[in-house]
Amino acid sequence: MREKDWPAFAEPVRDGGFRLFIWAAPGAKNDALAGVIEGRLKVRIKARALENKANEALCAHLAGLLGVPQGALTIVSGLAGRKKTIRVRGDVEPNWRALEEALTNG
């Protein structure tokens, strides 16, 4: 297990992966992090919540920020809602620092 260097909206799981607690906001002007609400990372997504496009864009955006392949992320709950839990596979190492910097710099 790594040192606790992950943010409050992430939680480690047994196999070395993580769960991310997300508050998704589809239909935004652009993809961006927008703070933490109720213990969840708020992520604005340009894609609309139609035909799973916002979920795909959310995973792509987070994967880019974390420096992991998009296939390493899976939405495990909240597919049709704003409150989502996303699983990060245990065989990748998320770049928490880059995510925190993106959050700080807006």
Per cent of the chain over pLDDT 70 is 95
Q: Does residue 78 lie in a domain region?
A: yes
Specify the pTM. 0.93
- Burial of residue 40 (CB within 10 Å: 0-12, 13-18, 19+) is buried
Which residues span the domain enclosing 89?
A: 10-105
Under the banding of pLDDT at 50, 70 and 90, the label for residue 7 is very high
5 assigned to some structural domain = no
24 belongs to a structural domain: yes
Q: What is the pLDDT of residue 105?
A: 85
- Is 40 strand, coil or helix? strand
Secondary structure (3-state) at 87: strand
Q: Tell me if 84 is assigned to some domain.
A: yes
How many domains does the chain contain in total? 1
Is 3 part of any domain? no
Q: What is the pLDDT of residue 3?
A: 53
User: What single-letter DSSP state applies at residue 38?
Assistant: T
> What is the per-residue pLDDT across 52-94, written as a single tens digit (0 to 9) for each?
999 999 999 999 999 999 999 999 999 999 999 999 999 999 9
What gap in Å lies between CA 79 and CA 4, rounded to an integer? 28
Q: Is 78 helix (H, G, I), strand (E, B) or coil?
A: coil
Q: Could you tell me the CATH number of the domain that includes residue 33?
A: 3.30.1200.10
Using alpha carbons, select from 12, 32, 6, 37 the residue that is nearest to residue 22.
37
pLDDT at 45 over 70: yes
Evaluated on CA atoms 59, 65, 82, 91, the torsion sign reads: positive
- 72 is a domain residue: yes
- Please report which confidence band the pLDDT of residue 1 belongs to, taking 50, 70 and 90 as the band edges: very low
Domain for residue 98, yes or no?
yes
What is the average pLDDT across 2-24? 90
pLDDT of residue 22: 98
What confidence score (pLDDT) does residue 68 get?
97
Residue 4 belongs to a domain: no
